[in-house]
Amino acid sequence: MRHAVVKATRDYLDEQGFTLVDTPIFTPAACEGTTTLFAVPYFDEGTAYLTQSGQLYNEATAAAHGRVYCFGPTFRAEKSKTRRHLTEFWMVEPEMAFAHLEDAVKLAEGLVCRVVEYVLDKRKEELKALERDVSKLENVKGPFPWLHYDDAIKLIESKGSETRWGSDFGGTDETVIAEAHDRPVIVHRFPSAIKAFYMEPDPERPELSLSADILAPEGYGEIVGGGERISDPDLLLRRIHEHQLPEEAFRWYIDLRKYGSVPHAGFGMGIERVVTWICGIEHLRETIAFPRMLYRIYP
């Protein structure tokens, strides 16, 4: 099943004109937050980190090639003991130059629909063996509903959640949101304070970011996260300082915009989460041969 998801993903991105570009595993700084980095001694350079995402490098190659994607392992030192978390997992990450939030979401929606369509066509027997209710997968057709973060907060509060505006969603919150829809739902425009430093602010409400998550139905949570990236170097530098990140480690990333930039956007899709949802299984560890979790590194 994993192979089918990967094949459908690559075929779709190839059809959309994307170029596969490898990105480094060793990186000098955080992409998704400094609290989830795995540090590694790196010769005379000091400390390197196992990559959390290839996105920052994708932005560089997108400036040259227009449409690119990377596909590889990512690492998060998250102390999370849930069925949705691994410390090592695989992501596909497309990035597009001359693109906005809506372009990234449209691409992600098309990708999710293609993957599900391919699995239903090519892996029906495997789904049957897993006793998967395929009727629920057959509902996965575009367009997906869009739900503003403001409205998502109202929805979960009406169901008794104690999560308030300005906070990120927990697993139970995502389940409540997803249960209100019969297909994946797009939650968009999260507060800038809870998203990564590189997210472009909403020009109409700067306290919000041009970001979006796609939540899978049936309580499987986020399978896609992305948005529009900051293209202004001064704003990017200010955000790096606000997040108390080391400016020198991001100097090359800021320099990408030094002589001008273009609107650009992209997303990451977690392979294990997609396989877990499509197969209707309980835990991500069943989707990868050698799962790495908080208390598991052997074998």
- Tally of domains within the chain: 1
- Tell me if 13 is assigned to some domain: yes
Interatomic CA distance for residues 10 and 94, integer angstroms? 11
In single-letter form, the type of residue at position 95 comes to E
- CA distances to 29, 35, 221, 228 from 247, rounded to whole Å, are 10, 17, 33, 21
Identify whether the C-beta of residue 94 lies closer than 8 Å to the C-beta of residue 65: no
Q: What pTM does this model have?
A: 0.96
Interatomic CA distance for residues 199 and 31, integer angstroms? 11
- Tell me if 298 is assigned to some domain: no
- Tell me if 260 is assigned to some domain: yes
Identify whether the C-beta of residue 292 lies closer than 8 Å to the C-beta of residue 27: no
Residue 282: CATH number of its domain: 3.30.930.10
pLDDT in tens, the chain (299 residues): 999 999 999 999 999 999 999 999 999 988 887 788 999 999 998 999 999 999 999 999 999 999 999 999 999 998 888 888 899 999 999 999 999 999 999 999 999 999 999 999 999 999 999 999 999 999 999 999 999 999 999 999 999 999 999 999 999 999 999 999 989 999 999 999 999 999 999 999 999 999 999 999 999 999 999 999 999 999 999 999 999 999 999 999 999 999 999 999 999 999 999 999 999 999 999 999 999 998 889 99
- Tell me if 10 is assigned to some domain: yes
Interatomic CA distance for residues 83 and 98, integer angstroms? 37
Interatomic CA distance for residues 167 and 198, integer angstroms? 18
Which candidate, 278, 275, 233, places its Cα nearest to that of 257?
A: 233
